[in-house]
Every structure is written in structure tokens, then in C-alpha cells.
Chain A
Amino acid sequence: MTRTPPFRLAQGGRLIDRAFQLPFRFDGRHLRGVAGDTLASALLANGQMLMGRSFKYHRPRGPIASGAEEPNALLSLGQGGRFEPNQRATTTPLVAGMVTRSQNCWPSLDNDLMAVNDWLSPLFPAGFYYKTFIHPRPFWKHLFEPVIRRSAGLGAAPTDADPDRYEQAYAFADLVVVGGGIAGLTAARDAAASGQRVIVLEQAPHWGGRTPTDHPGGQAAIDALLADLSGRANVTLRRNTMATGLYDHGYLIAREAIADHDPNAGLPRQRLWRIRAGHVVTATGALERPLSFACNDVPGVMLASAVRDFIIDYGVAPGQSILVVTNNDDAYRTALAARAAGLDVPAIIDARPLADGALPQAARAAGIRVLTGTGIAKVKGGKHVEAAALCDQSGDGRVLETIACDVIAMSGGWSPVVHLWSHCGGKLLWDDQAAMFRPDPDRPPLGADGKGNVTVTGAANGDLACAGGLEQPEGATMPVWVMPARAPYRLRAKMWLDFQNDVKVSDVELAAREGYASVEHTKRYTTLGMATDQGKVSNINGLAILSAALDQPIPQTGTTTFRPPYTPLTLATIAAEARGEAFQPLRKTPIHGWHETHGASFEPVGQWRRPYCYPQGAEDRHAAVNREILAVRGGVGTLDASTLGKILVKGPDAGRFLDMLYTNMMSTLPVGKCRYGLMCNENGFLMDDGVVARLSEDSWLCHTTTGGAERIHGHMEDWLQCEWWDWKVYTANLTEQFAQIAVAGPKARALLERLPGTIDLAALPFMHWAEGELAGIPACIFRISFSGELSYEIAVPAGRGLELWQILHREGRDLGITAYGTEAMHVMRAEKGFIMIGDETDGTIIPQDLGLDWAISKKKPDYIGKRAQQRPHMTDANRWKLVGIESLSNKVIPDGAHAVAPGRNANGQRNVQGRITSSYHSPTLGKPIAMALVRHGPSRMGEVLDFPMPSGDVMQGRICDPVFYDKEGSRLNG
């Protein structure tokens, strides 16, 4: 039968305000809704039942539900950066000016050419793609897959960055109630009365759940509860807030929708609540199940509850003639509501042999025809329902009668929403009486104390009629998994289970027949329940079909795992404010601003950004690095070394601790002296290096690499807390308490001596440190060098780092003082043959590989890694060891290039015998220099190695001493 206006009823609509008209657009058409509408109700009010196309067969689809379980009515919203695909029309509040489009159809929703798939559907049963597209092999990548990819997907991909803001917030409560229906509000009131801090979360914009719609007096009951709760200081009520997932230890994640109605108000669009709950009550209600009859997916076939929601809540007539089909009493409410709204109800088709409860009696009394023991054999209609062919429910689908109608309101019973209960391991039991899975109170999810930390109430607990005392007695539900019971294949192949993914009864039966018999196999093979509704309306029906096909009881089949989120959660809400500059904490040294204003080219190092170099004028980075190196070698330069880790280790056992931590002996280091130390992990591999200074009898300052500061501090604490918990040591990471400036170059002392101070530099030998005042700033000066030049590292309180840096640059101007960056530092240390953690080491290198045996104490009984270094492979004479490499051409051999040996290994790979670990052009020496690890390299001085390049060229390099510059170390002494 043809659908005719008016679609908005003259009266009713408890959630809408007809005084406020809201214009919006759908597929280019200008339409109007009213305040309080959802997008779905507004479209229905405009007579638009067709809202989408299914995923696989591109069948025309209208909404079947009125809430979060809706699988069909998915639209694209917005434009530009606010474009959002796959938005569920049934839960999207209508906003004035909203621009919406249908998706997954071409050229239009009404005439979608891809609907040819529907005609071909006999060729596309479950899993067909595993059985074909196999030959010829290149066709998968170049033909089949691209075609499949283009036809799959739902909405278009967004293209622009999202302009909206999202935020996160924390909350804590003794009790969080999820669900603001009558069961949840009642539970909240009871807890609040006992003084608990209570948070109530409701996904919808309004309170009450189904009670105001379904039960006379329901709204008053809800209002009374709300009045009680809103008067209590210990209760927080939060609407528009979807509890998406429950994690271990009562960690509840919820999404609050805030500003979609007014994106320009400056509010965050959504807020992610991270709630630590002492206990959680889920009062999440139940979802109605469809019935499986042929062509149950034609637009106009809807859940019975959705039909009455649209009528009662939104004042919308989904159709003029509403046929009800059910296996329970509840759906009779829909017939009564439709009749009360002045709509035609040609019949109620009840699959049960008997229906004589209060609601059926009321329906009969209202003059509605009730047919029991009856089912629908097939729905007639293409893009909308035109009629239903009726049959005997127990039969094979022989048509008894055809009834014209434009909406079919179906109800296959109800399934409690058990998602949150299940996320953390709560178990379910099958209730045969009510034909549903409900939470098993004996096997709840457990909290830290080993006791259940979730309880369930109301319909979510299987108490389907629950209405706070307003409930009417209802007759029993009769499980109906296929309609009619003995439907032949022809009908089963048209009974939809998963509407969005086009999974039908015949698909599940095929999966069972082919041995995909585990519920997870069936799900994955057929894609049942894997659509964006995650099987909210399809899963129970699907596993009932599977159980029947396998001839086993439903509980033996079980359910698939319920995974968060309950409904899809916007990624931006998860990321919240951590975007752009604030993506990760940005660590800045006290001198960072100076680097910025002096043209530094930065590189990220952990969460720091360090100057790589300071290009001046038209200089490129390479030229800048060369200039900086020559300036240091010839005069004086400064490096911001503040990022290097500075860890204070103190206590009576500190020396003993450091002797275990470092390969060197640190306990014997005299106060006032420094020592270069190596730190290995338990496996003997070198993990960090740095200079250790003994500050006093019981305290040492350990310098680490920039990247190592937090890691090494954690490593120290790990050993102290887990292994040597009785040693009297404490550690403090002082990295950010001090700015540290390296002043390096032959003129370094001359510069520092210009500054007033209390430290006698002439009396400060190499590898010593002193404390005093420099330029009026309290300072520690460490005479240590990573550049090979005369060098002082000056630590001052962080707040005065910039001041000292500026004084140095002012006083050193005539000396040609030059700020140098990390790359100049790298090159200079390589010229000197100093190793760099992360370059010469990679987690597989022991100090002995690097010629650092001198830094391994022979006197100590033990240190971390010592035993590991005695293992056969570690002492193998053929280990790759550190050497220098001189390029035979004037070109730099690239970092990471490998030296080959003749032949191939058992796996057909080229035999290798070494690799370049650091490689630079040395401006000091005017030639390329490189460090490398080469198989017993130190015994092969002068040998020439071949380094094949990916291009096919071969570069050659001669093994040499890794110290290229100032082998005697005379420059360290200035």
C-alpha cells in the first residue's frame, strides 16, 4: 500500500516542541523537523522511510529501531572538517541547519546501481570470497581487491582536520549507575539515601528510559525520582552520557555529548569521563529482537518498540496502517498506541497459540483483530512495505491471507543489555523461560578485593516488565527463531539477521554446515554482529539459529565476547586535548627560548626538542654544523647540555650500589673527582653511559644520556626496590633542577676566567669538579669533555641557566663564541672516537666490543651484566668490535652500510662482517670519517672492506684506529 501524509501526527510527541521548527537538509532536499526530534524522527516526519543501503547487497533500508541498536539508518553529517560518516540517525539530535547525506549508494539512495548485488545474492553467500578470487594470482591485488574495497565501506572518508575541541575529565564515586530509567533512578535514590556519592549516567538527552512511553503514570514516577535525586548534594545526574566501557578495577569510561547543537559556542564537542567507581550498577535496560521472516528488512518493517516510540515520543506516524507481529505481550502496546494515535491496525499477528493476557485482551477490546498461531510468510514491497503474506507459524510458509499495510511492527522478545557486565568478565546464564541471556549473579566481574563490583537491576537483569510498580502482568514470551517454523530455504535466504552486514538465516546455517561451528567462527565467517551496531539486534537471533543448525542447546553455543565500546566512540574524544603541540608533553630547557630566537633547527629527542644546529643566514644545516665544529675547535662554543640526565644517588650504601650498577668502580672515586661510567643490563648489553661525580662522602651525581634519564632512574629504582630493598640508598632525578652548559674549545678557560667567580679553574684538572659561584650564580663546574677540546660543563640552578648562557655569549663575543647543536657534538665525538649510545650501541653490544675494557673494573666481585658477559657468545673472538674506517674515496660511507665477506649463508643471505655505526664528513680533518663494528676488527688494521650499496655500487673503506683526532689527548688540557 502507498504511504501517504501526514507523517507528523496532529497530537502527541512527549519529547518534541512543535513551536520550534528546525530546517535541515537531506541529500540536498530542504526539510523541516522540530525541536526534540532525532534525525530519524525528523526524516520519518517528512515521509522519508528509506535512509540507507545495506553493506553487501545494497538493499534499500529504513530504520528498524529508535535507539543505539539501529543498524540501517546511518547517514553522513556535516561538511569540511566537521564531516562525519556513519552517524546513527536514531540517536542524533536534530540541529537547525544540519546537512545530512545518505551513504553507500550511487548515483542516489533511490536508484543505487550497486543493488545489482542483490540480484546476484545467490552467488554471494556467507564467506564466498574465501572460495573464489584465487586465480590468477595477480588479480587479487590489481582487480578483485580494489573492486571489493571500493564497494565496501559505508560512508566516505573525511578529508579535513577536525576543528572541534574535545576534553577529558575525571570523576570518582562510591556508586555509578548506568542508565537513567526507572530501575537506575530507583537504585540511585536508594544508594543516595544511604549517603553514598552517586553518579547517574544516561545515554539519551532525556530521563526515564521506556517507562514514560510504555506505562501510564510513568512520567510522573520518573519526575518524582528526579526531584528527589536532584535535591541531593551527593548525587550527580548526567544526561547525554554514554558509558562506553568498563575496565579493570571499576574504571568506567563514558562519553558526554555537549556541543553538537552549537558548534560555535566555544564548548568542547564531547567530553570523555574517566570515572573510578567503587561499585557499578548497570540499569541499561533491554533491546527488542527482530523476528526472522522473509524480507524482514524491507523499509517499514520496524521493531514494535520503535514504532511506538516514534508515535508517542515524537508524534510521528511511521505509517498509516501498522501490522503488528509478535511472540510476546509487550508488542500489543504498539498496537494500542497506534490505535490511540488514530492509525489503522489491521491485525496483530501472534506466533503464540494463545494470547489472553491483559494486553491482548485490551487489544481485542479495542476492536483489533488478533491472529494467534500465525506468522508472516513474506513481506511484500521493495522500497517500502506494501503488504504481508500470513501463514501458519508451525507450517512451511503456505500463504493463508495477505494483509495490506505500510508498516510492520515486529517483536521477537527482548534481550537484556549485558555489555558493561561482560566487559570485565561477568558471565551470563541462559534463561529458557524468557528466552534470553541475563547476568549470572554468581559469576560477576570482580574488583580488586575479589568481590563482584557490578550489580545489575531492572530489565538489564532480565526483569523485563520492571516499571517501578506500574507494571501490568504479561504473558510468557514464546521463542520464535524462524517464522514460520518450517520455512524452506527460499524463505530462509531472505530472513535477515544482521541487517547492516546482510547476514541471513541461510548464511548462519551454511556456516554451521561447513564446520564454522564455534559461535566465533560463525561470526567471523558470516560477519554476523560485526557491523557498526555490533550485533545488538542480531546476535541472539543468530546464535539461536546456529544452535538449531548444530542441534545443540543455546547455552552450549554461548555468545561472542562483548567488547567495548557499547556504541562507537569518536576517536577525537579518546585523544581529547592531546593534539598538535600538546600531543605529548614538550620539555624545554631553561635556554630553549634563546635557541628559538637564534634560529635553531630542532630535532626531537624524547620529549625534548634539542637544537640540531643554528643555521645563520642562507646556510643549510650541513654548512651550519661545519661552521659550529670549526668554531669550537678553533675558539669556544656552548652546548645546551641541560637535557642530559642528572641523578643524585645518596646514602650509606650508595657506593656499593653504584659499584653494582656501573662496570667501573665508583665507590673508590675521591670526592671532587669525576669518572666516565658504563651501565649494562642483566644481559650484559651496554645501556647507558655518562660521567659520575662524587659530590660528598655519601653522594654521587650520575650523568646519563638525554634519552636515558627517566629510564635509568627507573632502572635504579627497579633494583633498589625489587632486589636490594634493604640497601640504604635513595635516588633523585635532578635533571630539570639544573641547567647545564658545556663550554668547549681552546678558549674556554679564557672565557670563563673573564667572569667573576670563586672557582679557580687553573686548579681544576681534567675529570675534576668544583662548586662555587660564577658570574654571581651558584655553580658546579665539571671539567669533562665530549668534544675532545678543553671543556667545562657548568651546572647552575635551572632558573638561572638562561642568564649564564647570555653572559657567556656577551662576554665571549670577541672570542667568536658560537652556540653548537647536537650534530656538531656528534661529529666532534666521532672525530675523537668516543662512542655514542644508540649509534655504536643498539642493545646487542657489550662494552668489550667497543674497546672499553678499561672501564670495566677487574677488582669488583660483581656488577650487573658481569656474568652475562662471560657467556660463550660474549667472549667469542669473532665478535664485531669497534674500529675506525677510512673511506677510500672522498665520499662518506653511509651510516648502516654493511661490509660483506665472500659467499652466502645457509639462508642464502650475503655474508656480512661488519657495519658502519657512525659516519660523517669531518670538517676538522677535511675528509670522511667513520666508526664501525667489524668482525675481530682491531686485529685487522689496514684491511680494506667492501660495502655494497643498495644502488649496486660498492664503496670501500680501510680499517683504522677509531680515534681520528688528537690521539694524545693534548687538547683536553687546553
Chain B
Amino acid sequence: MPSDAPRSGRYSVFAIAREALRQHSGWKRAWASPEPRGRYKVIVIGAGGHGLATAYYLGRNFGITDVAVLEKGWLGGGNTGRNTTIIRSNYLQDPSAALYEKARSLYETLSQELNYNIMFSPRGLIMLAQTEHEVRGYRRTVHANNLQGVATEWIEPARVKELVPIINLDGPRYPVLGGLYQARGGTARHDAVAWGYARACSDMGMHIIQNCEVIGIETECGQVRAVNTSKGRIGCEKLAIVVAGHSSQLAEMAGFRLPIESVALQALVSEPIKPCMDVVVMANTVHGYMSQSDKGEMVIGGGTDGFNNFTQRGSWHHVEETVRALIETFPMISRLKMLRQWGGIVDMTGDRSPILSATPVGGIFVNCGWGTGGFKAIPGSGWAMAELIAKGTPGPLAAEFGLNRFREGRFIDESVAAGVAH
């Protein structure tokens, strides 16, 4: 049962001072490492941000704490720990804007709620318009956001320059014509989001079981019964599959198919330098986006491979394309150095929007298809998914994101506004 004092201890500056006096010997585990029980009411497969948030809101909003979160590797080790940490909700279509804005607004207070500093930093986010077509698209988005309760505005080039002094507005090929600005968009510390949720889940008595790979899903009369794992069979009443990158493989174990393709998406960081850019800048025409982390690294998002694969690396030429675009946009980064590049596997749906849905198997729910932009959605995704699992039917946030939309042609396509980058 949840109690006032979390099992992991309460974090504060006073706790740090206290521990400093006793050689930091009193810190407790942030999350427990239990052996699985034989059965849980709900099993969530995947201890990434979305899976942990799903579990967290099952407990917080519905009082369901008989939950296990199973993780093949280490928690937060998939795309939660590999993305460029951008948070925004300036989406065009109503269902997307509702979901991402819910997530963004939950991020605003998540550090306080979790008593774990996830470093949500509403530093502002600009999507640059570099063609007349983009100008029209972003102006349309501002109109839509205005009616969706998402605070965005169109800004002229002079304002872009004011917010991003290092930008070059007058590149010879794609001059900056303005931008879509979301002042309360920004970044958060990605690992901390996973760790904060994990700690909160563990404090509620949920089991987070790492190094526990699901190798089979047991169903009976169209109803889920159990999962078979590297740590044995575990029974469950309900099962949530929240495993970006490998969703289609898990679905196959349960006997259904998902309209998902998996591709590698890359990112890279520069060496750390002193602060030079406070806002997040996305440039979709030239395919690049960049922010500066609190550590000082320029965090750069790259492209997706043009072919399906499961290698968490990606092709070199995408790095070249991304870096070119950014040097063109920010000439001063030219002599900075790439410190590290990496890749993650993202789920892509036909309309590039996520799936939060019941499935053909009773008791099994899926949360997948976040494509290149899942991190920003984590709290909202968990919130909506928990409601779906608890009630068995989607609430308004998840209603439009069901699997049946593909059959009905009810796509939620953001391509007009989102360009390459989410």
C-alpha cells in the first residue's frame, strides 16, 4: 500500500545534507528488484517511459497496484534513453494536440509529483519555416492550436534571431521565413523520467522486473492468461504491450498483427560547450534539429533509415545530412566536434500517429507507434493507457488512436505539419 513516506526515502536538499554527514550511506534503493510473483492483475511489458508511466497512472488514478512491469534489458534502455528529449504539443490534428498537450502539461509538474527532478525545462521551441509551403503549414497550425488550447504563435525572422542569436537567417539556399513558436515547449532529462516513474511505481508496491524477457504469450478462448518469460510463467488478468521497436514481435506472440514498421532513428551530441542556445530549434526543410543540454552538449536529432531494421545504429549518410543542415543553420557549430552518435528503433505506423488500443485478444492492450516522437508523450500516453486498461474502453484522449482507425480510414496524419521530425 502507498504510504506517506516512500520506501525509497524522500528526496530533498535536506536529505542530501543529512547524507553528506554520513557518507551517503543512508540512501535506499530507488526501486526494488523483486523476483516475479506467479500472477499479477496487470502486466506491462516494457519498462520504458511509456510502460512505467502506464503502470504509474494505473496506481495513481485507478488504485491498481497489483502490477508488474517486465523489462527485457534495463529499464529506460530503449528509446526513452536514446531520444533528443524534446517536449512539445504544437500538433495540427485535434486528437494529437489533445494527447501531447496533456503530456506536456503533466511534465510541467512531474518533478514535484514524483519527488524526482526530471528537469523539465520549458525553454521554448521553434520550428523554422524555410519554404512558403512551411509558412502556410505553420500558420495553419497556430490557428488550430489556438482552438485546441495549445499556446503557440507564429514569429517573424527577427524574433527568431532574438531567441536564437547563433542562427543564420539568411542562408543562401533556405532563408528562415519565420517560425512556429511554443514558449512552453522544451526538454527534460530523459533517463530521469524513466527513473522517477520507476521509483514511484516501486514505492506503490508494483514490481519492476528487469532482465526478464517475454518469450511467449498464453491465451485461452481469445483471452490472455499469462506470459512466459526468461524468469518463468507469470499469470495476468490484463496485459499491456508497450515495447517500442519490437511491438510487432510481441503482437505476433499474442497472435495478431500490427500495422507497424520498425526503422532505426539516429541522434548525436557534440562535446560540451558553455551555453549558447536556450531554445530548441527544429528545421524540417533541411532535416535537422538541435538543442543544448544542461551539460553543454549540442543535442542533434538525425533522420530515419529508409529501410526496416532492428540494429540500434543507423547509416552514416544520415549523420552527414543532419550535420550539413545544422551547420547551414548554425554556422558557428562548424568546429565543434561530434562526441557520440547512436540509434534507436522506432515504430512507424501508416499515419505516423500512435496506437493506444484494445486488440483482437481479450485483455491485451497495445501502446506503440510513437514513431520518432514518443518521449514528449510519455505522461499523457501513460495517463490515457492506464484509463484504457482500467476501464477496458478508451477515454477521450485515446479514443481516436485505436487500431480500427486503419480499417476505417480515420487516419490522424500529422505529416503536413510535422515534416520529418517529431
Contact = CB atoms under 8 A, between A and B. Distances in A.
Contact of A161 (B73, B130, B331, B409): B331
A690 interface: no
Given A162-B334, A873-B408, A905 B121 contact: no
Interface string B135-175: 01101111110111100010000000000001010011110
B223 interface: no
Nearest to B20: A122
Contacts of B144: 896, 898, 912, 915
Nearest to A564: B341
A844 B147 CA distance: 20
Contacts of B121: 140-141, 145
Contacts of B210: 518
Contacts, number: 330
B327 interface: yes
A571 B290 CA distance: 13
B375 interface: no
A909 B97 contact: yes
A85 B339 CA distance: 13
Contact of B11 (A131, A518, A578): A131
A526 to B, nearest CB: 12
A568 B338 contact: yes
Interface stretch (A62-70, A151-159, A229-237): A151-159
A514 B28 contact: yes
B192 interface: yes
Given A905-B94, A909-B94, A571 B409 contact: no
Given A140-B119, A843-B415, A871-B408, A561 B275 contact: no
B199 to A, nearest CB: 9
7 contacts: A128-B16, A129-B119, A131-B116, A140-B111, A149-B294, A425-B311, A912-B94
Interface of A: 55, 82-86, 122-123, 125, 128-135, 137, 140-141, 145, 148-150, 152-162, 245, 247-248, 251, 253, 274, 423-425, 489-490, 493, 506, 510, 513-518, 520-521, 524-525, 527, 532, 534, 561, 563-565, 568-572, 574-576, 578-581, 583-584, 586, 603-605, 612, 683-685, 838-839, 842-844, 868-869, 871-874, 894-898, 900, 905-910, 912, 915, 948-950
Interface string B322-359: 01111110011111111111100000001000000000
B147 A912 contact: yes
A612 B143 contact: no
Interface in B101-148: 108-109, 111-112, 115-117, 119-123, 130-133, 136-137, 139-144, 146-148
Nearest to A159: B332
B355 to A, nearest CB: 16
Nearest to B135: A895
A960 B81 CA distance: 52
Contacts of B30: 514-516
B335 A843 contact: no
A137 B324 contact: no
Contacts of A85: 271, 273, 336
Nearest to B337: A568
Interface string B33-59: 100000000000000000000000000
Contacts of B119: 129, 140, 145
Given A532-B272, A909-B147, A895 B109 contact: no
Interface in B258-301: 270-276, 285-286, 292, 294-296
A847 B335 CA distance: 50
A895 B323 contact: no
B391 interface: no
A514 B117 contact: no
A532 B149 CA distance: 42
**Interface size band for B:** 35 or more
A849 B271 CA distance: 51
B328 A152 contact: no
Contacts of A516: 30, 195
A155 B274 contact: yes
A87 to B, nearest CB: 9
A907 B98 contact: yes
Contacts of A570: 334-338
Contacts of A578: 320, 324
Contacts of A895: 136, 139-140
A132 B76 CA distance: 21
A130 B325 CA distance: 34
A569 B98 contact: no
A153 B295 contact: yes
A464 B207 CA distance: 45
Contacts of B316: 245, 247, 251, 253, 274
B413 A843 contact: yes
B275 A149 contact: yes
A158 B19 CA distance: 40
A137 B409 contact: no
Contacts of B334: 158, 161-162, 570-572, 575
A680 B131 CA distance: 24
Contact of A872 (B23, B276, B408): B408
A843 B350 CA distance: 11
Interface in B165-188: 166, 168, 171-174
B140 A896 contact: yes
A612 B108 CA distance: 43
B273 A154 contact: yes
A210 B23 CA distance: 42
Given A82-B335, A157-B273, A490-B23, 7 more contacts: A123-B20, A149-B294, A154-B273, A515-B29, A565-B339, A838-B133, A908-B98
Nearest to A522: B74
B336 A571 contact: yes
Contact of A571 (B17, B153, B335): B335
B123 A150 contact: no
Given A135-B112, A895-B140, A140 B120 contact: yes
A534 B191 CA distance: 18
A248 B17 CA distance: 50
Nearest to B285: A604
Contacts of A86: 271-273, 337
Contacts of A574: 319-320, 323-324, 338
A152 B409 CA distance: 50
Contacts of B76: 521
A145 to B, nearest CB: 6
Contacts of A568: 270-271, 337-339
B343 to A, nearest CB: 9
Interface in B389-422: 396-397, 399, 405, 407-411, 413, 415-416
Nearest to A516: B30
Contacts of B191: 524-525
A871 B409 contact: yes
Contact of B77 (A123, A125, A520, A684): A520
Contacts of A129: 117, 119
B62 interface: no
Contacts of A910: 147-148
B370 interface: no
Contacts of A838: 133
B411 A844 contact: yes
Contacts of B16: 123, 125, 128, 131-132
A131 B196 CA distance: 10
A296 to B, nearest CB: 19
B408 A83 contact: no
Given A122-B20, A896-B140, A153 B273 contact: yes
A873 to B, nearest CB: 4
Contacts of B275: 149-150, 153, 157
A563 B340 contact: yes
Contacts of A130: 11, 116-117, 189, 192, 195-196
A565 B28 contact: no
B24 interface: yes
Contacts of A132: 11-13, 16, 117
B146 A950 contact: yes
Nearest to A570: B337
